[in-house]
Structure 1
Amino acid sequence: MARKHPPDSLPLANRGGRPPALKPEHLSASLDVVAERAQASLQEIAAELYHRCGVRICDATVRRAFRAQGIVRLKPTRPVYATAPKAAKRYGYTAAHQREDVPPYSTNLTDTERELIADLFERAPGQRGAPVHYSRRELVNACSYVLRTGCVYDVPTLASRL
């Protein structure tokens, strides 16, 4: 069972436990090492103590001994660099990459093909007939799509151009 001491009294004696790894002469040697090399790591300080005094300790022991002496390692303050805000990265194509009036299907007639068959589908000026609701070129493209793919043409594309 643990004994409680009154707050104003101290325990009579240290009744055992492991002896401290660093003796006062080792502490003074470690303080000399820190004075010589202030940026040394705890492992480097422990290695230097082994080299100077022959005492082998770990870096946690060095840290505890320094804390008991009131020595605390402070991180150096880093300068604050003001960087310009980076613009958001763009992925994919921009408007500059896109062609104007791109045909929606790869089966559409090219301009060269269109010139070859234009006389079959275009009316001569002054010729009679029903008014044009759809572009003749789009009608030929729809027929070409059905013939080349065997699939139904996208009707809403035509209907949206009324």
Structure 2
Amino acid sequence: MKFQTIVLAGCLGIAALAPLTAPATADSVLGSPDGWYVVETDKDYATLLNDLKEAVKANKMAVVTEAGPTEVAAQRGATIPGNRVVGVFRNDYAVSIIELVPAAMIEAPIRIMVMEEPDGTATLAYATPTTVFAPYMADGGGELEELAASLDEIFADIVADASRDD
């Protein structure tokens, strides 16, 4: 299996992310399946989650859903690392994709996971929109490929912004 990890290069925008063909570090609780990008940060879980939400807004997207087991587990007396899945999308993309391949909308919103690491830092991980929409490309053709590629750039910018040290 081929793994992809993103390492922050310290630049702005999409150029800040350099894909590698190596697994996430051994300390990471997240693997990186094909088509996934994993960005390890020095930020703590709460800060990274907040910075992710701010980056979503700054990149003109919307948080559509949020789900995470951490708080509910704590109510039951179980302690697990911080974990939140944030669904991100925008209506104009939804309309365009529905017009091309209605079934593809089962994949929206695109999810970004924030996971607390054992050392107190936090990691972002997501499957690229191109990967998520790949099963529908034959039906959606070049237009869906263009939409997914555009979303790839936006999601790379969101993750770069969220993981950037201020």
| TM band (smaller chain) | under 0.3
- Give the alignment's TM-score, normalised by structure 1: 0.21
- Which is bigger in relative contact order (C-alpha 8 A, separation at least 6)? 2
Higher gyration radius (CA): 1
| Greater strand proportion | 2
- Give the alignment's TM-score, normalised by structure 2: 0.21
